[in-house]
A = this chain, B = another copy of it.
Amino acid sequence: MAIRALVWGENVHEQTNQVVRSIYPDGMHSTIAAALNEDKNIKATTATLDQPEHGLTEARLAKTDVLLWWGHAAHGKVEDAIVDRVQKRVWEGMGLIVLHSGHFSKIFRKLMGTPCSLKWREAGERERIWVINRNHPIAAGLGECVEIPNVEMYGEPFAVPEPLETVFVSWYEGGEVFRSGLTYQRGAGRIFYFSPGHETYPIYHHADVQTVLRNAVNWAYNPAKPWAGIVDAPNVPIDKAREPLVQKGARLHADGEAGLR
C-alpha cells in the first residue's frame, strides 16, 4: 500500500498576493502534493486552514502516514486543539515534515520545546544547500549540493535542539549559514525540518527540492502500528511484577488507583 501523505497548506498568500498566485495558481499545497505523487510509493492529498477542523479531523489524521506542513501568515489561527491532535499522532508514529516558515508553526514549536527562532532577509539571494551525508535516504539522487537562485535567507542561530542528524547546511550569498535539513524523533514519530520554500519564489517547482520532499516522505514513514498508549502512565500492580515482590513501606496510592498527572 502506498504511503498516505497529507500536505497541509495555510493557503493565505496564494489568495492575497498576486506574485504568489502566479507561481502557485492552485496553492503551494497542490504543487507539493503533485510532486509527491510522482513517486508511485506515495499517495498525497491536501488540506487547508479554511476547511472544517483545518482539514485535520481525527479520521483524516488516522489515515495519514506522513504530514507535511506549510504555514506562514496564519500560525496563530491554527486552533490549539487541532495542534494537540497532530502532536499526539506524531508521538504515535505519524511522520512530520515541516517546511520553511513552518519553523514558527505551533506544531513545530511544541514538538521542539524551543523558540525555533532564526534570522531572515528577503532579498532573492542565492542559496547553496550542501549535503552532509550523501548516503542519507533524504539526500538520495542529489549531487554534492543544490543551488537555488532566489531565496529568502534563514540564518543561524536557529533555536532548535541538537538534531538527531544534520542532513543539509546552507550557504547564502549575503554571508550567512543555516542548518537547512535536520531530523528529530519525538515518541514514535520521525520529524524532518527543511528550510527552503519562500512563497514569492518558485522553490517547490525546483526538481531537487521535489526530490528531497519525496525522499523525506519515504524516510519519515513508520510502518509500525501506531503506539496507541504512548501518553498513558500505566501502573504495574505488585502481583503482576516480573519478579516476585512484597509490598514494603508506606504508600500514597491505594490498589487500582490511577496515577497523578
Selected contact of A169 from candidates B19, B177, B188, CB within 8 Å? B177
The answer to whether A185 and B170 touch (CB under 8 A), given A91-B115, A124-B247, A140-B224, is: no
Contact B185 A179 (CB under 8 A): no
User: What 7 pairs between A and B have smallest CB-CB spacing?
Assistant: A175-B242, A124-B248, A124-B249, A135-B188, A174-B241, A175-B243, A135-B224
Q: Which residues A125-173 have CB closer than 8 A to chain B?
A: 125, 128, 130-135, 137, 140, 144-145, 147, 150, 153, 155-159, 161-162, 164-166, 169-173
Give chain B nearest CB distance to A117 CB in angstroms. Answer: 5
Number of interface residues of A (CB under 8 A): 98
**Is the C-beta of A52 less than 8 angstroms from some C-beta in chain B?**
no
Contact B249 A200 (CB under 8 A): yes
Residue positions of A touching B, CB distance < 8 A: 13, 17, 19-20, 72-73, 75-76, 87, 91, 93, 101, 104, 110-115, 117-125, 128, 130-135, 137, 140, 144-145, 147, 150, 153, 155-159, 161-162, 164-166, 169-177, 179, 184-188, 198-201, 222, 224, 227, 230-238, 241-243, 245-253, 259-261
- B-chain residues with CB within 8 Å of residue A153 when the two chains form the complex: 236
- B-chain residues with CB within 8 Å of residue A134 when the two chains form the complex: 157, 188, 224, 227
Contact B200 A252 (CB under 8 A): yes
The answer to whether A236 and B120 touch (CB under 8 A), given A162-B165, A164-B164, is: yes
Which residue of chain B lies nearest to A249 when distances are taken between CB atoms in the complex? B124
Give the docked Cα–Cα distance between A8 and B85 (Å). Answer: 31
Selected contact of A125 from candidates B111, B245, B259, CB within 8 Å? B245
Give chain B nearest CB distance to A146 CB in angstroms. Answer: 12
Give the docked Cα–Cα distance between A247 and B201 (Å). Answer: 13
Give the docked Cα–Cα distance between A44 and B133 (Å). Answer: 28
Contact A114 B186 (CB under 8 A): yes
Which residue of chain B lies nearest to A227 when distances are taken between CB atoms in the complex? B135
Give chain B nearest CB distance to A231 CB in angstroms. Answer: 4
Which residue of chain B lies nearest to A141 when distances are taken between CB atoms in the complex? B224
Contact B238 A121 (CB under 8 A): yes
